[in-house]
Amino acid sequence: MKKDKKIPTATKAKSYTFFEDVYDVVRQIPKGRVTSYGAIATYLGTKLSARMVGWAMNAAHNAKPAVPAHRVVNRNGMLTGKHHFATPTLMEELLKREKIEVKKETVVDFEKLFWDPSEALAL
Q: Give dist(CA 69, CA 94) in Å, integer.
A: 10
pLDDT in tens, 38-67: 999 999 999 989 999 999 999 998 899 999
Say which range, 1-15, 17-31, 45-59, 72-86, has the weakest mean pLDDT.
1-15
Q: What is the pLDDT of residue 123?
A: 62
Cβ–Cβ < 8 Å for 71, 33: yes
Q: Give dist(CA 34, CA 60) in Å, integer.
A: 16
Q: Give dist(CA 54, CA 32) in Å, integer.
A: 20
Q: Where are the beta strands (DSSP E) in the chain?
A: 35-36, 72-73, 102-103, 106-107
pLDDT in tens, 77-117: 999 999 999 999 999 999 999 999 999 999 999 999 999 99
